[in-house]
Amino acid sequence: MAVDAALPYDDQNIFARILRGEIPARKVHEDDWALAFHDINPQAPTHVLVIPKGAYVSWDDFSARASDAEIAGFVRAVGHVAREAGLVAPGYRLLANTGTDSHQEVPHLHVHIFAGRALGPMLAG
């Protein structure tokens, strides 16, 4: 179900639980600012999610409230994950669903990294 990105942060959301180690994830990277792990229902041969360590509902919340250090650390982590996976030359797509119309399902900011095949036109469905 899509979430309202304007709601307050819910610390029981599934990505908060992954950050606390309460449920497992197939981690690909972790640093002070971000955690990256494989999406449980991949939509491309490579489908990795990168989330900030801080409690932010969405891209909107993060861009408004996060510190400069958190924003820099998170953006660098996304780039690092893609580079380390060898995705720069073939190419990759980033997506951050925000709110109801985007069909955001998990109310903790996550950037999807899609790669591994020609990804086609930008919007579907």
Interacting residue with ligand AMP among 9, 31, 39, 116 (CB under 6 A): 39
Dihedral over Cα of 75, 78, 81, 84: its sign: negative
The C-alpha atoms of residue 24 and residue 122 are separated, in whole angstroms, by 31
Q: Does 40 bind ligand AMP (CB under 6 A)?
A: yes
**Residue 110 is a catalytic residue:** yes
Q: x/- site string to ligand AMP, residues 85 to 124, per CB under 6 A?
A: ------------x-----xxxx------------------
The C-alpha atoms of residue 40 and residue 25 are separated, in whole angstroms, by 8
CB of 55 to ligand AMP, least distance (A): 16
What separation in angstroms does the CA of 42 have from each of 26, 45, 77, 79, 114?
A: 12, 7, 20, 19, 9
Residues that bind ligand AMP (CB under 6 A): 14, 25, 39-41, 49, 97, 103-106
Active site residues: 110
